[in-house]
Structure 1
């Protein structure tokens, strides 16, 4: 390979005048650094937006957990109420025991409904986790969180729906008992409603129990 001649050497080593190609290259590099700095800032903002979306989703799902837990108390009382008649008819407990269970659960019923309604309102007041699906190019450190939150949201939605169905059954029976006590319903009409509710309840209570178990097994959103 030939050596660089003096002219070539001088061209590579002498000071460049203003506006030269070397100066242009330097400016281009500086511009590139600024551009890269802008990209870094944008990436940080995107990452922060992703973290904010995860936090908002986690807050909503925590409220969903609270509702499912609160509804579980009322549905548990409703299950006892229903099971008492089943056990009495099967000779497992005496009629007096059945009536004692009915009274205890009936008296707890209004507070069950109030607590569950308050928890449901708190859950529904928070925005859904839809923002997770619209995050563009989330950073790798947040991808796992997004996936976990989306899985838990699916389980939470199912559990909330099952909890609402269960509490509607319990509150409906409480309302029917109150209406009968106030003379707004005949004894036969009240009995017919009660038997229909007793027959239907085990199915949706079972759905709630399964949904609650799936929620407990779902990954955490945090």
Structure 2
């Protein structure tokens, strides 16, 4: 910002020694500079940029969350097949079909999620209040900030569930055909623990579904 009211002085030598210094005249029509309080064109431009950045941050976070959807869905099916088998609600051959199908999709699930995740650089200041914002702009930022908070919570839980799925896929890949008993023990342990992160993810997604979207 310019410093308002500063006057530049110079000495006119044509009048000889002793001639008093006089101020340089401002060009006709010029106005005094005033501090930017955020309400002028520059301030509104800054607010507009903040809103655009906020929308982009929400959209990217939502895209990463969507990328986790398929993988978590397959992991849930994988776990549910064991649950149904243990409760006698399905036959082993049916469970095997589900395990094989979800396992085959696993590598793609993980790659899709990791690609989306690596492309996001979270901005901790996104959607914060901005000085000079009009009332409707402030409300928009507030709404988007709430949405981003809920998406971030869902992402935290999605990441935990995806890590569970990735670990199981790696265990399947590394399983020793001559020591399937060891694999079965590790799988049953993973199966017992899986609902915790899956349930947290589901709860976060339910909360997100009740949260208003960020206006585009």
Q: TM-score range by the shorter chain?
A: 0.7 to 0.9
Structure having the higher Rg = 1
Q: 1:115 to 1:188 in 2, by over 3 A?
A: same
The alignment status of 1:155 with 2:150, answered yes or no, reads yes
Instruction: Decide whether the 8 Å contact of 1:87 with 1:93 is kept in 2.
Output: yes
Alpha-carbon offset, residue 80 of structure 1: 0.5
Alpha-carbon offset, residue 100 of structure 1: 0.5
- Tell me which residue corresponds to 1:130: 125
RCO higher in 1 or 2 (8 Å CA, sep ≥ 6)? 1
Once structures 1 and 2 are overlaid, which stretch shifts more, 152-161 or 43-52? 43-52
- Tell me which residue corresponds to 2:40: 43
> Residue 194 of structure 2: which of 163, 184, 201 is its match?
201
> Residue 218 of structure 1: which of 203, 211, 215 is its match?
211
Secondary structure at the residue paired with 1:133? coil
- Tell me which residue corresponds to 2:67: 70
Alpha-carbon offset, residue 173 of structure 1: 0.1
Q: 1:80 to 1:45 in 2, by over 3 A?
A: same
> Residue 97 of structure 1: which of 89, 94, 97 is its match?
94
The alignment status of 1:171 with 2:200, answered yes or no, reads no
Unpaired stretches in structure 2, ≥5 consecutive residues: 1-28
* Distance in 2 (alpha carbons) for counterparts of 1:161 and 1:206: 13
Runs of 4 or more consecutive aligned structure 1 residues displaced over 6 Å after TM superposition: none
* Distance in 2 (alpha carbons) for counterparts of 1:104 and 1:159: 26
Instruction: Decide whether the 8 Å contact of 1:129 with 1:153 is kept in 2.
Output: no
Unpaired stretches in structure 1, ≥5 consecutive residues: 1-29
Alpha-carbon offset, residue 217 of structure 1: 2.4
**What's the C-alpha RMSD, in Å, of the aligned pairs?**
2.5
* Distance in 2 (alpha carbons) for counterparts of 1:198 and 1:47: 54
Listed one character per residue, the Cα deviations across residues 33-74 of structure 1 (whole Å, up to 9, x for unaligned) are: x45987588622222212211211211211211121221111
- Tell me which residue corresponds to 1:8: none
- Tell me which residue corresponds to 1:192: 185
> Residue 145 of structure 1: which of 131, 140, 148 is its match?
140
Q: 1:82 to 1:59 in 2, by over 3 A?
A: same
* Distance in 2 (alpha carbons) for counterparts of 1:112 and 1:48: 41
Q: TM-score, normalised by structure 2?
A: 0.78
Instruction: Decide whether the 8 Å contact of 2:54 with 2:141 is kept in 1.
Output: no
